[in-house]
Amino acid sequence: MVSRYHTPVLTWIHSAANAELEFSYLPFINYHLPSHFMRRAIYPGSFDPVTNGHLDIIQRGCKLFDEIIVAVLVNPEKTAFFTIEERCDILSEVLKTIDRGDCHVIVEGFEGLMVQYAAEREANAIVRGIRAISDYEYELQMALMNRRLQPSLETVFMMPAEEYSYVSSRLVKEVFQLGARVDGLVPALVEQRMREKIK
């Protein structure tokens, strides 16, 4: 007869009690941050334009970090709707309207290698949003490459509220340019700036 002390639950409790011992055998190095450390994250993206999905992720990130640097990428692979200056300007405006708690949120233009930028800014995490499984493959590749380049830099994935899980900048621009309303998907200021842009 199997002893009741070998139920899965008790086995788990047993291994949790020995967690300290077991962790020492894990084949990677843990990078612990001192408790007084300023937790600074970078949230990189094109933000062309910023959507309510992006803002949802930033708002959630504010619960985890002391400072978030929203890094607006100059992406040569994408044809931009707004210039980098316009995107930074719009972001700075709409960020004033969200609940940031005690988190300090700043906006910067950025070009180059993410891990190098993170090191310059003394950031210890990269924030990324995952909408669907389609995001996962690309995001996983990026996260693992960044980890290879800089093992102490963690990538933190966050999921948006369900109503934003299909919202992308590309889709917003696409439907807007075909004449559809995009209210509810982007802040009112973004829709207004998009109208001005196509005049």
**Binding region for ligand ATP (CB under 6 A):** 45-48, 51, 53-54, 57, 78, 128-129, 131, 135, 160, 164, 167-170
For the CB of residue 79, give the shortest distance to ligand ATP in the complex, in Å: 10
| 100 flagged as catalytic | no
Please list, in sequence order, all residues whose beta carbon lies within 8 angstroms of the beta carbon of residue 65, skipping any fewer than 6 positions away.
39, 40, 41, 103, 125, 127
Nearer to ligand ATP, 152 or 157 (CB): 157
| 169 flagged as catalytic | yes
Nearer to ligand ATP, 40 or 128 (CB): 128
Residue 155 has a CB neighbour count (10 Å cut-off) of 17
The catalytic residue among 40, 46, 54, 173 is 54
For the CB of residue 148, give the shortest distance to ligand ATP in the complex, in Å: 19
Q: In one letter, which amino acid is 70?
A: V
Nearer to ligand ATP, 27 or 62 (CB): 62
Distances from the Cα of 59 to the Cα of 70, 99, 191, angstroms: 12, 6, 20
Q: What's the full length of the chain, in residues?
A: 199
Sign of CA dihedral 119, 120, 124, 130: negative
Nearer to ligand ATP, 53 or 187 (CB): 53
| 54 flagged as catalytic | yes
| 14 flagged as catalytic | no
Cβ-contact 187, 55 below 8 angstroms: yes
For the CB of residue 168, give the shortest distance to ligand ATP in the complex, in Å: 4
The catalytic residue among 40, 169, 173, 193 is 169
d(CA 179, CA 186) in angstroms, rounded, equals 15
The catalytic residue among 14, 78, 104, 197 is 78
d(CA 84, CA 75) in angstroms, rounded, equals 10
Query: What are the catalytic residues?
Result: 54, 78, 131, 169
